[in-house]
A and B are shown apart, each in its own frame.
Chain A
Amino acid sequence: MGSTALTVSPLTGGADELRARVRGRRVLLVFAHADCPTSALALRQLGAVEAAEPEILVVAEESPEDAARLALRARLRAPVLAQSPPYTASVELGVEAVPTAVLLDRGGIERERLVGWDRDGYERLLGVRLAGEGPDRKPGCGSRAVEPPAAGGLDEPEDMFERGFTDGLPVVPPTPERVDAMLAGRDPDDSLGTVPPAHGEATLRRVAACAVLAGCRPEYFPVVTAAVGAVLEPGFNAHGIGVTTQPAGVVAIVNGPARERLGLNSGMGALGPGSRANLTIGRALRLVLTLTGGAQPGRLDRSTLGSPLKIGLCLAEAEERSPWEPLHVERALAEGQSAVTVLAADAPLSVSDHRSRTPEELADVIAQAAAATWSPYWWPMDDETLIVVCPEHADTFAGHGWSKERVRTAIFEAACRPAGELRRGETTELVRAAADDVPVHKWTDPGRILLMVAGGDAGRYSAVFGPCDGMGTAAITREISWTT
């Protein structure tokens, strides 16, 4: 493939300036714009041409930035002139449709013109064979000189990828109107703080842009801002979580009336997919970290494998189905308050257990699953583990009168082994220094285990989210404020 650099220059004047630029050369001017599929077809064909006589000069009815994108999409090697409104050159040369090819001789006199896509015509004028893609003839579209640009344009989804406004999935374009709707009167210049690792300022404007990109409805925005505020607290260590080689995802857990208000799913399939609110809130939070904060995978985010959890995950607790106090109440908020708790975590490990009939047995099963997380011989872990207890498992515990605290303690006690069995592979300083028979727990203390209830009524599958251990990160809970 040729390595000629893309050259885009603005064309400020009309036909005279255009003629002055090419005087003394035979040139095929090709008028095009980005909203026209026929222009795209023609430019892709011309992009494959190594060199031609007459020379090809593309006149894009676009800003220089959009003209460059158009040329990149077509892998164009020919130089490009970017023509801004009122498209004087198009008007003066009578270009009413794109693509239009105008052959100028050395004196600047028009010798021939092609309107629309015409493979034979281009081959004849350029004296080359064009690659076989697409139709031989295709009508063009209105020139911008006669039809003003359509809002958004035909290539909007591609445009978002080209701008890097994405996590790799298609996004909703953050138009000023959509961002304004997301802000709902909030001051766009208010800042939630700077987002590590690149220290981008999380103005509400940028956070709202991320929420739009993620597909949030405006009513979700208070949850997104609360979650962003939470990850920016020093105790969360967004820097470490953003750049680590670990597969560190961020989970946002919503409690309180916000769940019903926004239609967050805490029941069947609570970990997704299927619920817009859950998926887009989690995604918006991650987009703030990657786009505004600069934790882009493969760049400042050095995660070895990454994780599907890094796309984002928002969970809601099934408080009405839980026998216990909700997570946010344990964390010092009132039951009627809405709250979001953020936690850095590894992807969930499902724990199937349809046989345990005693709470002791069930706690042991969950504990042994958790014992394998982070690294099987790395004991104790000092960051937090999230255990999502399904309703049927919660019933088994509650049916025997077990409190949340008792469940936590039982899981902690069940994940305990003598140091002599743990001296393999990646193990801790504590294990290396301990005598063989010294008991070591999987966690430094029971408080490192966060418990919540979610999931469908049928099926005995709980889930363990292992920690991003050693990162010195802590779960952070913030109240969700609905006032603007």
Chain B
Amino acid sequence: MAGWSEKVLDIDLNTQTYKTYPLDMEMARLFIGGRGLGARLLWDMVGPEIDPLSPENVLIFTNGPLTGTGYQTSNRFSVTTKSPLTGTILDANSGGFWGMQFKKAGYDVMIVRGKSEKPVWIEIKNDVITFHDASELWGMRVFAIAQKLGQSNNKRNVLCIGPAGENLSRIASIMNDRERALARGGPGAVMGSKNLKAIVVEGKDRPAINDPERFKFLLYETRKLLAASPLTSQALPEFGTVVLMNIMNNIGALATRNHQQTQFEGAEAISGEELTEKYLVKNASCWACPIGCTRISKTEKVEGEGPEFESTWAFGAQCGIDDLPAIIEANALCNDLGLDTISAGSTIACAMELSEKGYMDSDLRFGRADQLAPTIEAMAYRTDIGSDLADGSLRLATKYSHPELSMSAKGMEFPAYDPRGMQGQGLLYATSNRGGCHMRGNMVGPEVLGLPKMIDRFQVQGKSSFVILHQNVSAAIDSLVLCKFTNMGVADEYFARILSTVTGIQYDTGEMTRVGERVWNLERLYNLREGFSRKDDTLPPRLLNDAPTDGPSQGWVVQLEPMLKEYYRGRGWDENGVPKPQKLEELKLAELLVRN
């Protein structure tokens, strides 16, 4: 069938062997690819008895039926696993080039099981799979590995872990194409636990397209739509994602000093405008992307991709630091060591608060830009204070008897948006299946930017319907797999048209949203099976009880309880957050529970 390669590559590191077999196409029709397909496969493979860092956990790499076709932003891919940070289901996705190359190698899915006795790296050249000794590579950093293994954007693409993944940091990322990250939730630690250093891919087959003529027309039309949107043609290319810094600060929703404040006096100094004026070298793009939001920035010490908004915030406002060169360098260091920038920055901020309040014996202090780089190094290598910080803020704060100072949901650190000034974002964080995250829907669109139209950010009643819609659409886009920025120029219904054109299966807009809802509910079922429950759909006490004392969000806390009740009802779940049988029937998920 066009779009999918219909082929699974299944690797067993215990024996360094592999097999290939056909993809279950009924499963593919229901879950499409990427995040959805990964969740469906993980459901069968990894149950509650399996420790995330044991050989029995798996890494499931998936692309989607659009990947590698050349459709705008069709470069992305996913990894799905049980998260060592949260214990929940985890999907992380990344752009760049590796996903496209993996698709061209002829696979929809790669499952990596077991654990190699010695460090190993894998080379994939279509049907030729080779296991290489990685003993000499173990310990090397990401940029050096990418160079040594021949990273070349359109020909040969390197995915790897850095020292953080080797040392099983629960906030370690998997890096691809040198500076792209499958960042959140600690997938790098899972890869490290398997003694797998890198996966290098070279592919030669372009995926088949069911209706090439119509596909060409849709490519043309999409190009026009992206060019016509001021968001995708001007805002993102000109200033990148960091342009959000000033507006979030202006409305009093920029989390500051571990969420102790909601405005940062140094926001202007770390803004997208400042980055563009003083440190931007040029723009860059992922494969087949006309938007080009990537920044190549340069300081006296480093030159490379980024930083994105969330990373700039994490090392900036969240740590009370207004030194942009130090932030750019911290971002580059995390990429080289293979650490999630959001969790790394927010964990350092948590340590700063613990230390300032005397709960932890360290000299970490808010505003100390000079402490960023040495702390990040220590985290990746688990040396000195870094051993306490390497597993994220919740484990750190719990060790020092103040878990309430971890700014996380389900153990995953939040991104930049302080939800006291964005009620919908608070509900979104609390209900996200992988923990505190802005990539499982993001209410910054309707609550701050007026996308597609402005709603009252402090409104509570009725907010859950927006959150549910955004969560479902995000799950659908993550299953195609496309970049969510495409959705700023191209309406949701367009995705059904392009998917139908590529695969020959007729999807309508309703079916795409239903795919997203199906994926969301399957992830919920997975977490319930792991023992998560209503009590985990919550936020730190600071966000629920401590209102900001000044600024535009003064007096507001997250009104979670009424929104959560409304949310469960809107999702067709019972009062404990368990999907009702009729909802599971409707989504074709009921049979999973019977078989389970």
A and B interact physically:
no
Q: Which residues of B come within 8 Å of A, CB atoms?
A: none
Q: Which residues of A come within 8 Å of B, CB atoms?
A: none
